[in-house]
Amino acid sequence: MSNYGLTTNSLSGAPSRITQAIATASRRTGVDAAALAGDEARNLMVDFYESGIDFAATVPPGKYQCRTVKLGGPFGDFVAYGWFSCTIATQGTGYSIVKTSGSQRFVGDLIDVDGGLVFRGASFYGDEVPGSYGQLAEKNEVGCLSRQSPDGNTYLLEFPAPLLESDHDVIELRPAG
């Protein structure tokens, strides 16, 4: 079974060895589950990972289309949701990011850790007031941002070992419009 380019050597600019190890283990569990789900899932994993992982040190602020892909877990091996809206803005020395549409959303900061952007934020439902990281443990989310496409316009925000629903979540982000 292919590991879709997921080798230690394909990780460049990783935020830290601990973060890299957690993300890699979670990603492999999720990708293995998706490989059992059929051609759509396998093809998407190839699109996401065949060129390796290039952790992002910067990201252009602006409006993005985003979709959540859930890999593994109690609800199935693979679930890809439709496209929704996300916004990335500069904030101090880093960035803020918020998913602005859909029933399941997230809000948080992208902060530089050892040369890579790490997400720290919280999940919330569309009818809830957004919280922040540390406010409620069951809403906390952490992840790593990587560049996915050769042109650098598409990003993957990965949530290793999320608290609910899956083994590994991937948010695919591409510029809107």
Angle subtended at Cα 12 by Cα 8 and Cα 17, rounded to the nearest 5 degrees = 60
Q: How far is CA 62 from CA 28, 43, 175, in A?
A: 31, 28, 8
Return the bridge partners of 76, or none.
none
* pLDDT category of residue 68 using cuts at 50, 70 and 90: very high
Q: How far is CA 153 from CA 20, 102, 106, 134, 138, in A?
A: 22, 22, 21, 31, 32
Backbone conformation region of residue 115, classed left if phi is above 0, alpha if psi is from -120 to 50, else beta: left
> pLDDT (tens digit, 9 = 90+) per residue, 75-93?
788 889 999 999 999 998 8
- Write down the pTM of the prediction: 0.82
8-175 belongs to which CATH class? mainly beta
Helices first, then strands: H and E counts in the chain: 2, 11
Distance from chain centroid for Cα 41: 16
pLDDT at 22: 64
* pLDDT category of residue 25 using cuts at 50, 70 and 90: confident
Which of 15-24, 74-83, 134-143 has the weakest average pLDDT? 15-24
Domain boundaries, the chain: 8-175
For 5, the token pair is 């380019």
